[in-house]
Chain A
Amino acid sequence: MGRFVLRRLISIIPTMFIIVTVSFFMMRAAPGGPFSREKEVPPAVLENLLRKYHMDESLPRQYLRFLGDVVRGDLGPSFKNKDFTVNQLIGQSLPNSLILGLTSLTIALVLGVLFGIISAIKQNSVLDYTTMSIAVTGISVPMFVAGPVLMLIFAVWLKWLPTQGWITGRQGIKTLILPAVTLSMPYFAYIARLSRASILEALRSDYVRTARAKGLSMPVIMVKHVLKGALLPVVSYLGPACAGIVTGSVVVESIFVVPGLGTFFVRSALNRDYTLIMGTVIVYSLILVLMNFVVDIIYGFLDPRISYR
């Protein structure tokens, strides 16, 4: 087990190296640059700007300089958010994305599994059709539609919640509700459908039939026999879901003005803010590979057939 963990951890290094290298050169291949302006910058000023950000050096040299800085943990100055370094911007915004993402994932997981259980137990009943209809709605309605609709209902009409802002502002924790619910919708729906299908499959299995024959009550069968196995697909989905929910909150962050990393990610790409693009790519990639790694470990605990060799 220890060796497996160590080997997986070490394998993250070449993965990250490839991601950083490919991203760096792809980014530079895109047209435009951080100093593209409608009002042309005078050549002398442009030269000074290029020098200031080491953009006057050759591309390989810039790449090596960047790698060296990354190893030292310095992601450099932002080209556009000129008063902050990339480290500061990520340090301030990543926790917000994580709070939003983890709250959404918790909502998605708890409600998704709950709906999955209800739906599976009451298969083909009105309750089943209702819960699965809600799940289908969650999958099919895009977040840029769901968000404004929820905002209209709960903020503008009912006046229960604010339309925008974040927990650090005047409206406090209430600002988390609408973005978290919006962001959780597709994940909740997917988890609900996934757990329903797995639970149904488990309920039809021989070991559950045996448990029933032994006279065990339904709740005991569910908790002890069904859920442990049936939730395996859900657990394996949690890795990409967690990464997706943390990194994929761009639309929600924009709609509800959440100061998360997603907004910087999109804006940095549009602005050709090279250092910030690389910083966000590194963070998102790390989240993705670490989540997959964690899921691999948890999967082993849940499924005794998996051995760490």
Chain B
Amino acid sequence: MMKRSLILALSLAVISGALFAGGGQSSSAASSGAKASAEFVVGNGTEIQSIDPSQIEGVPEARVNMALFEGLATYNPKTNKAEPGVAESWTISADGSVLTFKIRPNLVWSDGTPINAQTFVDSWLYHLNPTTGSEYAYMPGMVIKGADLYNTQGGKPSDVAIRAVNPTTFEVTLVGNVPYAIDMMAHYAFNPLPVHVIQKYGADWIKKENFVSNGPFVLQEWIPNDHLTVIPNDKYWNKANVHLSKITFLPIEDTNTAYQAYKNGEIDWSTNIPLAIIDQLKLEKDYHVQTQLGSYFYYINMSHPILKDVRIRKALSMSFDRQELIDRVIKGGQVPAFALAPPIGDYKPATGTGYDLAAAKRLLAEAGYPDGRGLPTFQIIYNTLDAHKVIAEYLQQVWKNNLGVNVTLQNLEWATFLDERKTSRMELGRAGWIADYADAQNFLDLIVTGGGNNDGHYSNPQYDALIRRASAMPGGTARDQILHQAEEIAITQDQVVIPIYYYVSQNIINLDKWDGWYTNPQDSHPWVGIKRK
């Protein structure tokens, strides 16, 4: 009896196993059938925080936003320079301070409501309204006259120098001659918003049943932590160039899962690269790497009793070979950095301090610590990520071997790390900065006196004056030279940070299968034009 029961149970197990296995095969076939259409599945890294352009921040959100909304300008997929979006053209006044956009006629939201110049006035004022709590409102605040006054200093909406001249003409007065203003306006902080829907539904405008957009796609479904899908917007002006029938965004955080899902054909584009198999990945043709406008560096606490000695800071920076760190430790093809800002257009970064071990040892001895003798132990803080950990471990080892400097490492989770890095307790802290817009000043603003991101507490009036001067200059060689001069002071002379490398974007996508997707310096990939080959 017992044996019979056991046999029965085992038989059931075998049968159910066979059923599951069979089901798997049929479903795989179904999924490959679905892929024959132009559906596109993205491993988007993480769950997005919002689809409201006034509330978003971060790259995963930007990818979804680019499907749902379009601003006056949009990004060229190859160069990332601004090109016409909702505005078909624009003109710049002779002194560079007034932008006039010509908005395409007969544009509508996905619910059929017209889009015109007044839409942008209403939308930008909504973005800038302090009660909206938009964390990226600082971007319009930087370039539009009166925008910062309204957003952060108790000004009025009428202070913001934007106006609808007529339904198809939108005029923006800038704070001066801002050379990067047009490129900046492709950013989601300048998106239009369906203010008519917001007024009707309030905070619920973002619900699927109320949601309205003007981009190439409209929201189909969003189940948090599961998937978000968008389908083509049949009211989009450029719908002839929208080739995908659906985009599914999957919040895959685990890099290994993302890679396996890609290998298994479940996703078409993975933005999450597992560091552990980077050597193997580099051999695959679907792996695409591109230098990015971003810097990885270490903040140095400039008020620390010992680190305030520039000789110590320079010794630390000069005592390790960045190329070796990249080749042997992080392996992603990053570019060694000796300055804070990467080369952007014609801008030439500061010379900085390169690998020169003899000079590093000499500087340390001159500072009174030959071979590191007598030097207290420093601490590096970094947030939880494998790459940050291995870089900190490499520096710990190299500084010990090359200079006799002892360093301890402290791994902190993100919020604690940020909190700690902003305190005067921090000694050395990892940092990274990806450009919001293609201009060196976006990086150099990080270390101006009293700046919110100046976590090393650097202060040099000469540097601040040069940065202020560059802010008011038109783009071009003269301005680039002023910025370069400022960076030479901060980096080559003062060594306020330890530059380590310039970021690269790393993506996995089969470009034999997909057309219209290009690597570019800001790793930004508009959905219009992407199609199956």
Binding site for B on A (CB under 8 A): 30-33, 36-45, 47-49, 52, 80-84, 89, 92-93, 114, 118, 121, 148, 151-152, 155-156, 159-166, 168-174, 177, 217-220, 222, 254-260, 263-264, 267, 270-272
B26 to A, closest residue via Cβ = A174
Q: Beyond A38-B418, A38-B453, A257-B254: 12 further Cβ-contacts under 8 Å?
A: A32-B415, A37-B135, A41-B135, A41-B452, A42-B452, A45-B130, A45-B138, A118-B6, A152-B260, A155-B260, A160-B21, A255-B254
Interface contact B138-A267, CB-CB below 8 Å? no
| B468 contacts partner chain A, Cβ-Cβ < 8 Å | no
Q: Which of B131, B224, B414 contacts A93 (CB 8 A)?
A: B224
Which residue on chain B has the smallest CB distance to residue A148?
A: B256
List 17 interface pairs A-B (beta carbons < 8 Å), by A numbering.
A30-B415, A38-B431, A38-B453, A39-B57, A48-B132, A49-B133, A80-B49, A82-B52, A114-B9, A148-B256, A160-B20, A161-B20, A164-B250, A171-B27, A171-B266, A219-B2, A219-B5
Beta-carbon contact of B418 and A151 below 8 Å: no
Q: How far is the CA of A154 from the CA of B449 in the complex (A)?
A: 56
Taking A162-B264, A163-B257 as contacts, is the C-beta distance between A32 and B133 under 8 angstroms?
A: no
CB-CB under 8 A for A272 and B55, given A80-B49, A170-B31, A259-B224: no
Give every chain A residue within 8 A of B413 (Cβ-Cβ).
270
Query: Measured between C-beta atoms, what is the minimum distance from B349 to chain A in Å?
Result: 21
| B416: Cβ under 8 A from any A Cβ | yes
B251 in contact (CB, < 8 A): yes
Report the minimal beta-carbon distance from A200 to chain B, rounded to whole angstroms: 16
- The complex places the Cα of A1 from the Cα of B420 at a distance, in Å, of 55
Map CB proximity to A onto B246-262 as digits: 1 under 8 Å, 0 otherwise: 00001111101100110
Counting from the closest, the 4 A-B pairs by CB-CB distance are: A40-B452, A32-B415, A259-B226, A44-B152
A88 CA to B30 CA in the complex, in Å?
Answer: 32
- Tally of contacts, chain A with chain B, CB under 8 A: 183
Q: Give every chain B residue within 8 A of A220 (Cβ-Cβ).
A: 1
Instruction: Please tell me if the beta carbons of B151 and A45 are within 8 angstroms of each other in the complex.
Output: yes
Contact B2 A222 (CB under 8 A): yes
Q: Are B24 and A254 in contact (CB under 8 A)?
A: no
The reply to whether B418 and A165 contact each other, CB–CB distance below 8 Å, is: no
Point out the residues of chain B lying under 8 angstroms from A161, CB to CB.
20, 24
B414 in complex: contacting residue of A114, A217, A259, A270, CB < 8 Å: A270
Q: Using A81-B49, A83-B52, A164-B266 as known contacts, say yes or no to A263 and B25 having CB atoms under 8 A apart.
A: no
With an 8 Å Cβ cutoff, the count of chain B residues facing the other chain is: 67
Q: How far, in angstroms, from A220 to B137 measured CA to CA in the complex?
A: 75
Q: How far is the CB of A26 from chain B (nearest CB, A)?
A: 14
What CA separation (Å) do A93 and B416 show in the bound complex?
A: 27
Contact A164 B261 (CB under 8 A): yes
Nearest residue (CB) in A for B141 is A42
Known contacts A118-B6, A264-B225; decide if A45 and B152 are in contact (CB<8 Å). Answer: yes
When distances are taken between beta carbons in the complex, the residues of chain B under 8 Å from A270 are 413-415
Q: Please measure, in the bound complex, the distance between the C-alpha atom of A31 and the C-alpha atom of B422, giving whole angstroms.
A: 12
**The one of B34, B49, B52, B260 that contacts A148, using a Cβ cutoff of 8 Å:** B260
Closest A residue, CB atoms, query B415: A32
Contact A30 B257 (CB under 8 A): no
Q: Which residues of A contact B252 (CB under 8 A)?
A: 164, 257
Q: Quick one: which of B268-320 are within 8 Å of A by CB? A: none
Most central of A31, A47, A83, A272 by chain B CB within 10 Å: A83
A257 touches B264 (CB 8 A): no
Which residues of chain B come closer than 8 Å to A162, judged between CB atoms?
27, 31, 261, 264, 266
- Give chain B interface residues in 432-456, CB to chain A under 8 Å: 432, 451-453
Which A residue sits closest to B211, measured CB to CB? A83
Please indicate the chain B residues that have their CB under 8 angstroms from the CB of A82 in the complex.
49-50, 52, 55
What is the CB-to-nearest-CB distance from A59 to chain B, in angstroms, rounded to a whole number?
A: 18
Q: Which B residues lie within 8 Å of A272 (CB)?
A: 415
Given contacts A45-B137, A81-B47, A160-B20, contact A168 B226 (CB under 8 A): yes
A39 touches B418 (CB 8 A): no
B415 touches A33 (CB 8 A): yes
Given contacts A121-B2, A271-B415, contact A169 B261 (CB under 8 A): no
Interface residue? B11 (CB, 8 A):
no
B264 x A163 contact (CB < 8 A): yes
- What chain B residues lie within 8 Å of A44 (beta carbons)? 130, 151-154
In contact, B1 and A219 (Cβ under 8 angstroms): yes
A277 to B191, CA, bound (A): 32
Tell me which of B30, B131, B133 has the highest count of chain A C-beta atoms within 10 A of its own C-beta: B133
Interface string of B196-227 (1 = CB under 8 A from A): 00000000001100000000000000111111
Give the residue name and chain of the A residue nearest to B31 (CB). A170
Complex alpha-carbon distance, A269 and B225, angstroms: 16
Min C-beta distance of A249 to chain B, whole Å: 13
A48–B51 Cα gap in the complex (Å)? Answer: 20
Q: B52 to chain A: which residues have CB within 8 Å? A: 82-83
State whether A254 and B6 are in contact (beta carbons under 8 Å apart), knowing that A30-B416, A92-B223, A168-B226 are contacts in the complex.
Answer: no
Choose among B207, B224, B260, B416 the residue that contacts A81 (Cβ–Cβ < 8 A).
Answer: B224
Confirm or deny: B23 has a beta carbon within 8 angstroms of a beta carbon on chain A: yes
Cβ-defined partner of A31 (8 Å) among B206, B254, B416: B416
B26 nearest CB across to chain A (Å): 10
Query: Bound state CA distance, A155 and B27, in angstroms?
Result: 12
Q: Is B28 an interface residue (CB 8 A)?
A: yes
Whether B27 pairs with A174 at a CB distance below 8 angstroms is yes
Which residues on the A side are within 8 Å of B207 (C-beta)?
Answer: 83
Residues of A within 8 Å of B415, CB to CB, are 30-33, 36, 270-272
Residues of A within 8 A of B253 (CB): 254, 257
Please tell me if B263 contacts chain A, counting CB pairs below 8 Å.
yes
**Chain A residues whose CB sits within 8 angstroms of the CB of B138 once the complex forms:** 42, 45
Quote the shortest CB–CB distance from B220 to chain A (angstroms): 13
Whether A267 and B20, one on each chain, are in contact in the complex, defined by CB atoms closer than 8 angstroms, is: no
- Interface: B134 (CB within 8 A): yes
Residues of A with C-beta under 8 A to B346? none
Please indicate the chain B residues that have their CB under 8 angstroms from the CB of A169 in the complex.
226-227
Q: CB within 8 A of B453: which of A31, A39, A170? A: A39
Q: Which residues of A contact B6 (CB under 8 A)?
A: 118
